[in-house]
Amino acid sequence: MARKIAVVCLWLGLASPAGLSALGLGDIQVRSALNQPLDAEVELISATAVELEELEVTLAPRETFERLGLD
């Protein structure tokens, strides 16, 4: 589970434009059980209203998950 969260966070960082590199990630609250689809909430730290309005969150492509051995 922690590895999946790390992959998602890494993908968020890589997919973000350079201007959003100052956006901080806080605590992660995981609400899903083991072996269930990930249901988590990530706290955003020091985000401006403009950054929040322009924020786009996506999952990594399936190829990335397959390469890392994740479902």
| pLDDT tens-place string over residues 38-53 | 899 999 888 888 888 8
How much is the average pLDDT of 13-19?
58
- Residue 55 lies in domain: 2-67
- CA 15 vs. chain centroid, Å, equals 10
pTM given for the model = 0.49
Confidence of residue 31 (pLDDT cuts 50, 70, 90): very high
Confidence of residue 63 (pLDDT cuts 50, 70, 90): very high
pLDDT at 22 > cutoff 70: no
pLDDT at 20 > cutoff 50: no
In single-letter form, the type of residue at position 56 comes to E
Q: Which of 27, 11, 16 is nearest to 54 (CA)?
A: 16
Q: How many separate domains does the chain show? A: 1
Cβ atoms of 44 and 23 closer than 8 Å: yes
